[in-house]
Amino acid sequence: MASERIENLVRQMTLEEKAAQMVQIPYAQTGREESLRWAKMGAGSFLHVLGDDAREVQRAALSSRLGIPVLFGIDAVRGHALNDRATIFPTQLACACAWDREIAKDMGKVTAREVATDGLHWTFSPLLCLSRDARWGRVDETFGEDPYLTGELAAAIIEGYQGGDLASPESIAACAKHFIAYGEATGARDAYDSSVSCRKVREVFLPPFQKAVDAGCATFMTAYGSIDCTPLTADPHMLRDILRDEMGFQGFVVTDWSNVTSLVRNQRVAKDADEASLLAALAGNDMMMNSPEFYESVIRLVKEGKLEEAVLDEAVRHILTVKERMGLFEQPEKTGKPGCIGCEEHQQIALNAARRSITLLKNNGILPLKKVKKIAVIGGNGDDIRAQYGDWTYFTHPEPIPGRQPVRPYTTVREGLEKLAAEKGIACEYAYGCGPVPSEKDDLDAAVKAAEGADAVILVVGDVVSQFGENRDRAELTLSGKQLELFALLRALQIPIVTVLLSSKPLVMGTIPDETDALVAAFNGGAHGGQAVAEALFGLFNPSGRLPISFPRRTGQVPVYYNQLPGWHGGKYCDLPNTPQFVFGEGLSYTDFAYRDLTMDAETLTASVSVQNVGKEAGLETVQVYFRDCVSSVITPVKNLIAFRQVALQPGESQRVTIQLNRSDFSLVNRQEQRVVEEGEFTLMVGRSSRDEDLLMVNFTL
Ligand code: NOJ
């Protein structure tokens, strides 16, 4: 039910004003004059407009007949990173390595404060698609491959964005995207069709979005793609029956970019803008991002009696209710916290997130670096802030501007290592060697020369923005350019090599996992990613990241997500081992942890395990809880994550970790598409990664 104020407004609005309220205008692409015209017509929202331009648009909107304030949206998906002065966090994927709700929440809070200080209201974040196929271009934007971890981090970041009160000057509205199964498109082709059943959607893809609804997420975004050939934009079953009626979503739904236009131009399920607009409105999209033709079409449809005006009323109610919850009728511009954009406190929070994202995947003892007199830092990604940032910063959006200068503060891996080496009196030499994409700067000989005489080589490999993002799915995940050749040349020197993967996603690394002395996954760590890597290598902190995504051994091995179904004859490709290169949940530490005495009380559903730090350093362990349904009416995964806890332990210290589970944690979605718990035998697994050998197991009966 909308408030009296909203009902009053809806009664006063003309058909044209309602249609305009449902339109979202991209400022940069539309231009100033045209944007101001839209604002005066009562457009509901604008995206990607900052500062004085936004204020001017808002003034125009407030001077319109009803003076309904505009809602400003922006892709502040890893900090308010389209503003070059803002605090730039690690990507969602990197943040997910921390397996820490507080890290996600802090990132949300800082982002909200900075976005609000710029006068804006709404971020198109978090992204809750699952990365089950690393070829997809947008893996970096996700929290990884698992529904449980994704849902937990989603709820936390939404809490950070929205706070307890959307009307607070420092809160902004969140947007859970992209609804739904977008990451599951066939062949990992961005925005393409996903061949999944509704049962599977409910089982695997809805749960994180349900947590977003439960966290009070103000808006949802409709995916570009389709499920079994029905575009989500035109799917009332997904948007109305499931999202609103079943899941209880109360906010408004915005389409993704040009989704309405796409129904005609790309997906060919509508012959013209009128037909597309009819489908989109009936399906339950409340606001149309960058499909301005919707405005005239929808007015025409109502006038011709093809669409009931009540459909518009309902959408407008949803939009205005969010504006009301945000307090925009009283205070149209968010004020935030003046002076906070990019401030020291926020930079420290981003640095902490970067540190917590560092994931150690191999270490034969070379790390932390000690007794070295000279190190060589090699690799294009070791000194390239654009690569370190990755996607969705001022370098890439709203338009990529080649030649745009980076703004401090930031620290590349090279800079971080040079600084620490200098403090310790260690010589440090950098050579470019090669980047992920071949260029005239490539010089492998110079890199080998720089490495000669060093006590350790730090080789930074990965990908660059031209290899990922929207419209950039990869057919081949192997390290590109001359990176593998460079590794082989350096390996031949017989100097210890620490390989750092600075990338948007899991990549296939040839012989590196076997032959490198240590391997660190850093992904896109944001402004302070380089400092975090350097500190981890020198042992200034003990790395505690755990992979939120599995790494394939070869591209052809995808999908390799851990929660596979049983039943594959042979259980492996005949030309590869049956395991991924690195598994979900994996990550080493400079200390070791031992697990003992797993118990499960089937009456109270309480699991308990003892964890001890059996090494020589203090460390943070992530205790992971999985289960398997031994016999079920539909095929269920070999294991599913249902809980995790983090314990900080001093050397020798031991702790009994108790985890309260719920009956619903053991549920499945049956053939009738109902979520149920089927009684019988279950296996509970607790340990340090999703790998069987790392898990203690106990059976119990429900
Ligand atoms: C397209 C992307 O798919 C979506 O994630 C983003 O929020 C919108 N464009 C707005 O930039």
CATH value at residue 194: 3.20.20.300
Do both 166 and 266 map to the same domain?
yes
Query: Does the residue 426 lie in any domain?
Result: yes
619-629 vs 640-649, strand pairing mode: antiparallel
Contacts 24+ apart (CB under 8 A), 272-275: 273/297, 274/300, 274/301, 274/306
Measure CA 631 to chain center.
33
Ligand 1 pocket test, pick from 25, 124, 224 with the greatest ligand atom count within 8 Å of Cβ, gives 124
Ligand 1 pocket test, pick from 221, 253, 396, 397 with the greatest ligand atom count within 8 Å of Cβ, gives 221
| Each residue's pLDDT tens digit, 333-358 | 999 999 999 999 999 999 999 999 99
Rounded to 5°, the CA angle 466-468-470 comes to 105
Tokens 């307090």, residue? 327
Query: Does the residue 344 lie in any domain?
Result: no
Do both 56 and 203 map to the same domain?
yes
Tell me the CATH number at 677: 2.60.40.10
- Among 277, 309, 325, where does a domain finish? 325
d(CA 395, CA 381): 16
**Strand spans (E) along 413-527:** 427-431, 456-462, 497-502, 518-521
- Residue 236 contacts residue 184 (beta carbons within 8 Å): no
Tokens 């203090």, residue? 618
Ligand 1 centre and the CA of 289: distance in Å?
Answer: 9
Ligand 1 environment, Cβ below 6 A:
75, 124, 177, 256-257, 470
Ligand 1 centre and the CA of 338: distance in Å?
Answer: 28
- Among 536, 557, 578, where does a domain finish? 557
Do both 305 and 373 map to the same domain?
no
Contacts (Cβ under 8 Å, ≥6 apart) of 140: 91, 92, 93, 94, 390, 391, 468, 504, 505, 523, 524
Query: Does the residue 7 lie in any domain?
Result: no
Q: Whose CA is nearest to atom 11 of ligand 1?
A: 75
Q: Whose CA is nearest to atom 3 of ligand 1?
A: 256
d(CA 174, CA 216): 9
Q: What pLDDT, on a 0 to 100 scale, did the predictor assign at position 1?
A: 80
- Residue 54 contacts residue 46 (beta carbons within 8 Å): yes
Ligand 1 centre and the CA of 613: distance in Å?
Answer: 44
- Residue 696 contacts residue 686 (beta carbons within 8 Å): yes
Do both 228 and 377 map to the same domain?
no
Ligand 1 centre and the CA of 340: distance in Å?
Answer: 26
**What is the secondary structure of 632-690 as a DSSP string?**
-SS---S-EEEEEEEEEE-TT-EEEEEEE--GGGG-EE-TTS-EE---SEEEEEEESSS
Do both 293 and 383 map to the same domain?
no
Q: Whose CA is nearest to atom 7 of ligand 1?
A: 124
H/E element, 192: none
Query: Does the residue 654 lie in any domain?
Result: yes
Do both 406 and 535 map to the same domain?
yes
Query: Does the residue 343 lie in any domain?
Result: no
Q: Whose CA is nearest to atom 1 of ligand 1?
A: 257
Tell me the CATH number at 403: 3.40.50.1700
Query: Does the residue 571 lie in any domain?
Result: no
Do both 25 and 133 map to the same domain?
yes
Do both 359 and 315 map to the same domain?
no
Domain containing 287 equals: 21-325
Q: Which of 670, 605, 669, 682 is nearest to 638 (CA)?
A: 682
State which ligand 1 atom lies nearest to the alpha carbon of 73: 10
- Among 310, 325, 340, where does a domain finish? 325
Do both 299 and 381 map to the same domain?
no
Do both 394 and 261 map to the same domain?
no
Q: How many domains, in total, are found in the chain?
A: 3
Do both 25 and 136 map to the same domain?
yes
DSSP letter at 81? T
Query: Does the residue 423 lie in any domain?
Result: yes
Q: What pLDDT, on a 0 to 100 scale, did the predictor assign at position 402?
A: 87
State which ligand 1 atom lies nearest to the alpha carbon of 175: 7
Q: Mean pLDDT by 10-residue block, N- to C-terminus, for the chain (702 residues)? A: 95 98 97 98 96 96 97 98 98 98 98 97 98 98 98 98 97 98 97 98 98 98 98 98 98 98 98 98 98 98 98 98 98 96 98 98 98 98 98 95 95 98 98 97 98 98 98 98 98 98 98 98 98 98 98 97 97 96 98 98 98 98 98 98 98 98 98 98 98 98 97
Do both 189 and 267 map to the same domain?
yes
| Each residue's pLDDT tens digit, 309-334 | 999 999 999 999 999 999 999 999 99
Query: Does the residue 87 lie in any domain?
Result: yes
User: Using CA of residue 246, residue 250, residue 254, residue 256, what is the dihedral sign?
Assistant: negative
Q: How many CB atoms lie within 10 A of CB 485?
A: 15
Ligand 1 pocket test, pick from 138, 253, 289 with the greatest ligand atom count within 8 Å of Cβ, gives 289
